[in-house]
C-alpha cells in the first residue's frame, strides 16, 4: 500500500495541515473560519514578504467583491488565534501603508497522515469571532482625517520552490494520487457547473436575494469618527461628520484634490442625516436642538445655519425637482397614544402637510422622492419584534394614493435612494435581525430585491451623485468587551472577554453574557475573571438580554428563534429552555427581587407586563410607555423610563402594586437629567433602596430618591456604556463598554456596476 505524503507548514508551536485545512497548536486544532484560515495560508506561503492589502484581497476573495474591513477582521482573528500582539508581533507584522508580512520562521515539511491521525480526531474547526469585533486599520491621513490617496508599492511575487528528494516509489504514489484527485475535481466541477446553471435560472425567475461584486471601495476616512456623509449632485464634493471628544462637526471635502474645510463648527449635539440640495448650493442636516431633532441648512460656501423644521426624525429626503422636503414626525393623538406622520414641506420648511399617518407600533421611515418629484417610496412597519415586518410602500404626493410595493420582506431598511432613471432604488438594510446590514438593488415597480454586497461590515447609509457614477457609503464596526472591577470601582475595571450589550450576575458570582464568538448571537456563562466559559444557547438565531433569578436557579432572556422576540426561561446550566410569552413580541425582561415574577415590555406600545416565573397568565401592569423596569431590592418599588410630550426620557419610581397602572400612583416620583439625554439602558437600584443608577451619553449617573441633581458615578471616554451591574453582594462591578467605529468610503463607477448585474 502506497504512503500518501501531505504538505505541512510549521512555525513556533503551530502546524498547518494544508489538505485538511486545519491549524494545530501542539497537536490541538485551533478554531478558524475558512476565510481566516485562507488568509493565514497565503501569508505563511509568502512568509518574509510584504503582501499588500490589495494582493491579499485578490488572493483570498478572487473575483468576489468585499470591502477592506473583511481583511482587517481576518487579521484580527489570526492574531487572536496565534496569541500575537500587533504592537510587538511574533508572527504577523503590519507594515504601515504597505500591507502585512508573516515574520516567523516557517518550515515546510512532508509527512504521511498516519502520524497525525490522533490529532485530527481530537476536534473540528469551529466558527470564530463575529464581525462585531472588527477593528479599523491605520491609514495615512492629512491633519483633519481625510485619507490621502497613496500609490501602493507593487512587488513582484517571489515564489520560493523547495527542492525535495523523493524515492521513485514515493514519486509514483504522489503522481497517481494527484491524477486521481484531478479527475475527481474535474468531474465535481462539471457537475457543479450544471447545478449552477439550474440555480441561476431559478434565481432569475424569482425574487431570491443575490450577491454581486461591486467596484472596489476607496476609503475617505479611517478614523472611526464619521457616521454621516453625503455626496454633491455633481459628484465633486463630499460632506461628512467627525466626532472628537463627543463633539460633532461637519466637514466638506473636494474629491479631486482631497482637500477639506470645516463647514459647521463642533457642537455637543450629534447629527442624524446629511443631504445636498438639488442645485448643490446648500447642505441640509438634522441635529438635536434642546432635546428635539431639527432640520437645518447651511450654504455650501459657508455661513449661518438656518433652522427650517423642528420635531422630526433623522431621515429626510429632498425632491430632485423643487427641493421639497419629506420627513417623519412622531406626535400624540387625542387619546394620548403615539402616532407617526409622513410629512412634506417646501424647501424652506414652510407649508407643512401630512400625507399619511400610522398608529404605534407601526411607523414610517426613510422616505425617498422619485426622480420626477411626484411620488415618495418609504418603509412602513415595525422592527422591534425581530421578524420581517417592514414593507416598501409608495404614495402619490398630489392625491395621497397609497400602493404597497412589497409585503413584509424586511427587518429594517435604513436608507432608500432612487436611481435617476426610475429603474429602481438602492437600499441599505437587512432582511433578518441577525444579518449584517448590506447594500441592495430593489427594482421598480415590482420591488424585487438583489443583494449587492456580502461583507462582514455593517453599512449605515448611502448617498449617490445624480448620474449614480459615484456613491458615498457610511460603514460601521463594533468593538465591545465586558469589564470587571473586583473592588466595585469602575476606574479599576479591566477587560475580561469580548461581549455585547446586556449581561447579568448569578448568585455564585458567575457572569451571564451575550457573545458572537461562535458565529451566532448566544448566551454564555463565565467566572468573573473570564475563565470557564460555557455556551448555554446555540443555533437559535438571536438570544440576548439575560437576567437571573436571585436564587440562581433560572436565567430569563429574549430570543427570536420562533420568528419574533419572546421571553424565554432556562436553567442556569442552559437546560430546559422554555418559551414564556407568545404575544406580538416581548423584551426587556427582569426578575423581581423575590424571584416570583418576570417583568417585561411589550414590543410596539412598550407597555409593562408581568408573568409568574414558573409560567402562567400574563398581567398588564402599566398601559403606557414604561421601558426597562427595575425592581428595588426590598421588592416594594419599581423604576422605569418614561417619555414626556417632548419625547425626552425621564426616570420614574413608584410603589409596586398588584393593581394596573401603578405608574399613575400619586406617590410616583420623576427624575430628569438637565444636561444629558438619558439612554434607554438598564436601571439599577442601590442595595439600600435609596438610589437609582442610569446611563446618559457615555456617563453613569446616580440619582437619589430624595431628589436633587444626579451625580456622576463613572464615565467611559471615547466609548459607550452598553450595560452595567453590581454582583449580588455589591462587592464587584461589571459593565460592557465599546464603540461603533464609523467611516466613509467612496465607490466609483457605481451605476455601471449595477447595470451589468
Whether residue 208 lies inside any domain: the answer is: no
Buried b (16+ CB within 10 A) or exposed e, 369-407: bbbebebbbbbbbbbbbbbbbbbbbbbebeeeeeeebbe
For 131-280, where are the E strands, in sequence order?
217-219, 229-231, 237-244, 247-254, 259-267, 271-276
CA 589, CA 554: separation in Å to the nearest integer?
13
pLDDT digits (tens, 9 = 90+) for 539-571: 678 999 999 999 999 999 999 888 889 999 999
How far the first Cα of the chain sits from its last, in Å, is 51
Cell of residue 186, nine digits? 474535474
Mean pLDDT of the chain: 81
User: Is the alpha carbon torsion for 706, 709, 714, 719 positive or negative?
Assistant: positive
Confidence label for 337 from pLDDT (cuts 50, 70 and 90): low
Give mean pLDDT, residues 677-686. Answer: 91
pLDDT digits (tens, 9 = 90+) for 518-535: 767 899 999 999 999 999
Q: Is there a single domain that holds both residue 444 and residue 582? A: no
pLDDT at 64 (0 to 100): 59
- CATH number for the domain including 104? 1.10.10.10
Confidence label for 334 from pLDDT (cuts 50, 70 and 90): low
Contact of 557 with 544, CB cutoff 8 Å: yes
pLDDT at 191 (0 to 100): 40
Answer yes or no: is pLDDT of 330 > 60: yes
Answer yes or no: is pLDDT of 204 > 70: no
Q: Is there a single domain that holds both residue 290 and residue 358? A: yes
pLDDT digits (tens, 9 = 90+) for 440-482: 999 999 899 988 887 777 888 999 999 999 999 998 888 889 9
Q: Is there a single domain that holds both residue 750 and residue 705? A: no
Residue 685 belongs to what domain range? 490-731
pLDDT at 528 (0 to 100): 92
Phi-psi region of 496 (alpha: psi -120 to 50; beta: other; left: phi over 0): alpha
Contact of 252 with 144, CB cutoff 8 Å: no
- CATH number for the domain including 319? 2.120.10.30
Q: Is there a single domain that holds both residue 472 and residue 502? A: no
Cα distances (angstroms) measured from residue 491 to each of 484, 486, 738:
10, 11, 15
Whether residue 705 lies inside any domain: the answer is: yes
In this predicted structure, which of 225-239, 242-256, 540-554 has the lowest mean pLDDT?
242-256
Whether residue 509 lies inside any domain: the answer is: yes
pLDDT digits (tens, 9 = 90+) for 127-177: 222 233 333 233 333 333 444 332 232 232 322 323 333 333 333 333 334
Whether residue 567 lies inside any domain: the answer is: yes
Mention every residue, 6+ apart, whose C-beta is less than 8 A from residue 408: 381, 387, 388, 389, 390, 391
Pseudo-torsion of CA 299, 305, 311, 317, nearest 10°?
10
Q: Is there a single domain that holds both residue 494 and residue 629? A: yes
Q: Is there a single domain that holds both residue 262 and residue 396? A: yes
pLDDT digits (tens, 9 = 90+) for 75-87: 888 988 898 988 7
Whether residue 194 lies inside any domain: the answer is: no
CB atoms within 10 A of CB 715: 15
Who wins on pLDDT, 668 or 275?
275
Q: Is there a single domain that holds both residue 225 and residue 334? A: yes
Q: Is there a single domain that holds both residue 525 and residue 598? A: yes
pLDDT at 107 (0 to 100): 84
- Which one-letter DSSP state was computed for residue 183? H
pLDDT digits (tens, 9 = 90+) for 494-526: 999 988 889 999 999 999 999 887 767 899 999
Confidence label for 663 from pLDDT (cuts 50, 70 and 90): low
Answer yes or no: is pLDDT of 69 > 80: no
pLDDT at 193 (0 to 100): 42
Whether residue 736 lies inside any domain: the answer is: no
Q: Is there a single domain that holds both residue 122 and residue 257? A: no
Whether residue 280 lies inside any domain: the answer is: yes
Whether residue 575 lies inside any domain: the answer is: yes
Q: Is there a single domain that holds both residue 393 and residue 518? A: no
pLDDT digits (tens, 9 = 90+) for 266-290: 988 888 889 999 999 999 999 987 7
Q: Is there a single domain that holds both residue 470 and residue 432? A: yes
Last residue of a domain, one of 130, 157, 181: 181
In this predicted structure, which of 18-22, 414-418, 556-560 has the lowest mean pLDDT?
18-22
Q: Is there a single domain that holds both residue 465 and residue 501? A: no
Predicted TM-score (pTM) of this structure: 0.66
Q: How many domains does the chain have?
A: 3
pLDDT at 206 (0 to 100): 35
Helices (H), 631-703: none
CA 177, CA 184: separation in Å to the nearest integer?
11
Mention every residue, 6+ apart, whose C-beta is less than 8 A from residue 249: 241, 242, 262, 264, 265, 266, 267
pLDDT digits (tens, 9 = 90+) for 169-200: 333 333 334 444 344 434 433 443 444 444 33
Amino acid at each position: 500500500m502506497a504512503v500518501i505524503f501531505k504538505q505541512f507548514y510549521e512555525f513556533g508551536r503551530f502546524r498547518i495541515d494544508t489538505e485538511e485545512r486545519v491549524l494545530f497548536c501542539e497537536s490541538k486544532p485551533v478554531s478558524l473560519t475558512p476565510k481566516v484560515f485562507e488568509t493565514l495560508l497565503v501569508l505563511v506561503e509568502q512568509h518574509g514578504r510584504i503582501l499588500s492589502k490589495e494582493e491579499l484581497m485578490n488572493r483570498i476573495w478572487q473575483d468576489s467583491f468585499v470591502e477592506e474591513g473583511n481583511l482587517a477582521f481576518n487579521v484580527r482573528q489570526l492574531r487572536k488565534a496565534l496569541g500575537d500582539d500587533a504592537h510587538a508581533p511574533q508572527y504577523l507584522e503590519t507594515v504601515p501603508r504597505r500591507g502585512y508580512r508573516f515574520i516567523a520562521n516557517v518550515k515546510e515539511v512532508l509527512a504521511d497522515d498516519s502520524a497525525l491521525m490522533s490529532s485530527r480526531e481530537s476536534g473540528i474547526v469551529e466558527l470564530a469571532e463575529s464581525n462585531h469585533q472588527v477593528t479599523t486599520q491605520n491609514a495615512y491621513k492629512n491633519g483633519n482625517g481625510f485619507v490621502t490617496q497613496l500609490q501602493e508599492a507593487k512587488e513582484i511575487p517571489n515564489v520560493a520552490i523547495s527542492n525535495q528528494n523523493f524515492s521513485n516509489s514515493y514519486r509514483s504514489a504522489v503522481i497517481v494520487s494527484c491524477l486521481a484527485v484531478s479527475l475527481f475535481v474535474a468531474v465535481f466541477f462539471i457537475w457543479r457547473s450544471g447545478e449552477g446553471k439550474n440555480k441561476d435560472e431559478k434565481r432569475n425567475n424569482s425574487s431570491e436575494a443575490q450577491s454581486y461584486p461591486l467596484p472596489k471601495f476607496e476609503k475617505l476616512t479611517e478614523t472611526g469618527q464619521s457616521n454621516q456623509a453625503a455626496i454633491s449632485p455633481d459628484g465633486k464634493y463630499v460632506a461628512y461628520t467627525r466626532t472628537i471628544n463627543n463633539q460633532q462637526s461637519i466637514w466638506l471635502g473636494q474629491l479631486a484634490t482631497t482637500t477639506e474645510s470645516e463647514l459647521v463648527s463642533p457642537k455637543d449635539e450629534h447629527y442624524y442625516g446629511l443631504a445636498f440640495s438639488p442645485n448643490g448650493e446648500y447642505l441640509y442636516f438634522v441635529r438635536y436642538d434642546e432635546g428635539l431633532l431639527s432640520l437645518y441648512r447651511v450654504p455650501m460656501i459657508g455661513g449661518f445655519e438656518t433652522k427650517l423644521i423642528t420635531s422630526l426624525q433623522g431621515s429626510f429626503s429632498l425632491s430632485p425637482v423643487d427641493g421639497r422636503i419629506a420627513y417623519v414626525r412622531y406626535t400624540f393623538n387625542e387619546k394620548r397614544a403615539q402616532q407617526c406622520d409622513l410629512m412634506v414641506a417646501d424647501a424652506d420648511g414652510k407649508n407643512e402637510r401630512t400625507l399619511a399617518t400610522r398608529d404605534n407600533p407601526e411607523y414610517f421611515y426613510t422616505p425617498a422622492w422619485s426622480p420626477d418629484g411626484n411620488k415618495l417610496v418609504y418603509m412602513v412597519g415595525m422592527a422591534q419584534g425581530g421578524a420581517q415586518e417592514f414593507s416598501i410602500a409608495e404614495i402619490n404626493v398630489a392625491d395621497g394614493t397609497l400602493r404597497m410595493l412589497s409585503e413584509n420582506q424586511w427587518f429594517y431598511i435604513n436608507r432608500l435612494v432612487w436611481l435617476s432613471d426610475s429603474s429602481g432604488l438602492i437600499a441599505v438594510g437587512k432582511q433578518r435581525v441577525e444579518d449584517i446590514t448590506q447594500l441592495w438593488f430593489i427594482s421598480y415597480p415590482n420591488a424585487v430585491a438583489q443583494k449587492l454586497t456580502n461583507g462582514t461590515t455593517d453599512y449605515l447609509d448611502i448617498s449617490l451623485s445624480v448620474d449614480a457614477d459615484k456613491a458615498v457609503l457610511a460603514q460601521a464596526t463594533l468593538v465591545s468587551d465586558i469589564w470587571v472591577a473586583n473592588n466595585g470601582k469602575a476606574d479599576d475595571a479591566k477587560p475580561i472577554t469580548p461581549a455585547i450589550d446586556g449581561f447579568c450576575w448569578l448568585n455564585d458570582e458567575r457572569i451571564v453574557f451575550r457573545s458572537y464568538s461562535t458565529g451566532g448571537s448566544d448566551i454564555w456563562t463565565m467566572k468573573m475573571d473570564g475563565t470557564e466559559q460555557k455556551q448555554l444557547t446555540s443555533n437559535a438565531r438571536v438570544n440576548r438580554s439575560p437576567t437571573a433569578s436571585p436564587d440562581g436557579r433560572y436565567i430569563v432572556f429574549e430570543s427570536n428563534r420562533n420568528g419574533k422576540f419572546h421571553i424565554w426561561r432556562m436553567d442556569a446550566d442552559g437546560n430546559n429552555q422554555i418559551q414564556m410569552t407568545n404575544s406580538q413580541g416581548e423584551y426587556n425582561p427582569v426578575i423581581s427581587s423575590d424571584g416570583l415574577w418576570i417583568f417585561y415590555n411589550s414590543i410596539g406600545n412598550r407597555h409593562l407586563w408581568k408573568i409568574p416565573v414558573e409560567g402562567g397568565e400574563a398581567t398588564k401592569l402599566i398601559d403606557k410607555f414604561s421601558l426597562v423596569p427595575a425592581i428595588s431590592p426590598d421588592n416594594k418599588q419599581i423604576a422605569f423610563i418614561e417619555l414626556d410630550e417632548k419625547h425626552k426620557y425621564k426616570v420614574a419610581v413608584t410603589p409596586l402594586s398588584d393593581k394596573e397602572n401603578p405608574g399613575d400612583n400619586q406617590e410616583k416620583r420623576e427624575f430628569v437629567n438637565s444636561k444629558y439625554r438619558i439612554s434607554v439602558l438598564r436601571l439599577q437600584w442601590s442595595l439600600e433602596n435609596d438610589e437609582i443608577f442610569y446611563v446618559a451619553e457615555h456617563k453613569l449617573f446616580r440619582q437619589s430618591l430624595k431628589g436633587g441633581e444626579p451625580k456622576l458615578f463613572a464615565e467611559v471616554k471615547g466609548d459607550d456604556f452598553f450595560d452595567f451591574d453590581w454582583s449580588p453582594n455589591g462587592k464587584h462591578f461589571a459593565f460592557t463598554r465599546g464603540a461603533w467605529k464609523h467611516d466613509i468610503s467612496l465607490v466609483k463607477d457605481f451605476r455601471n456596476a449595477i447595470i451589468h448585474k
